[in-house]
Amino acid sequence: MAQTQQIGQNRRIGQSDRAERIDRIDGIDRIGQELGEFQAVDPVVDRMRALRSAWHPTDGVAVFNRVYLTVTEEIGHAIEAGGFADRRAATTLDVRFAERYLAAVDSLATGRPAPACWRPLFHSRRHPGVRPLQFALAGINAHIGHDLALAVVDACRILECAPADLEDEFDRVGDILVLLEERIREELMPGPDLLEIADPLTHLLGCWSLDRARDGAWLAARSLWQLRGLPELAEEFTERLDRSVGLVGRMLLTPLAGP
């Protein structure tokens, strides 16, 4: 009897996990699911500012949060200044993108499993052998490589359009991310007296590119959109994307110094 009950419980847990994964594909995250079609950037900025105040500055997730807060503020300013032809589309994409990160943080806070792409950063956030630049890039890798593709699909469902209709907004957001990645490297990169050719960090940085991650996110978004009528294939594609991005994150977080 106990074995039968355990099997039934495992089946229910499996069904619950699968339903949660499908919800992520369909863009039905609990965070922001009732915000309506046009969503202001301010609420997600406020959430990230609150997290900045709550976390110690050396916390690895806090390092990424500071970087991403700057990104979101920059995009919000660009939207308000008329930097996007379609303000509604740009805001929807930006908010859905930010909500993916905030949902991962909330999963960690409530004890639910976070997406695989975020786990390396969450697990290594206090490792003394990981440098701040690694934390920042690992977060960007998770957010661009996995979350951005799903955010595009989320936005398309809300706006009732195809990914091609959001390509201009996607490219404009990507341009801002590239500029901010350069700033991040300037601020967090060790000085020339510390960063030498033989430094392992030099090799790690050479293995990852924001441009390639952005291109991959756009391809993944288009693929997921084509698979929207095939939920099982869409689920499998999303899971594999999640795991592969997580693998890159583990590489970026390779400790470079002992405790």
pLDDT one-digit tens code per residue, 220-242: 999 999 999 999 999 999 999 99
In this predicted structure, what is the pLDDT of residue 183? 75
In this predicted structure, what is the pLDDT of residue 174? 86
Lowest mean pLDDT among 115-129, 149-163, 167-181, 225-239: 167-181
Alpha helices in the chain (DSSP H): 2-26, 42-54, 60-80, 87-110, 119-124, 132-142, 148-159, 167-188, 200-205, 210-226, 231-252
In this predicted structure, what is the pLDDT of residue 26? 43
d(CA 174, CA 192): 28
In this predicted structure, what is the pLDDT of residue 184? 77
On whether the pTM is more than 0.75, the answer is yes
In this predicted structure, what is the pLDDT of residue 100? 96
**Beta carbons of 107 and 113 less than 8 angstroms apart:** yes
**Beta carbons of 140 and 67 less than 8 angstroms apart:** yes
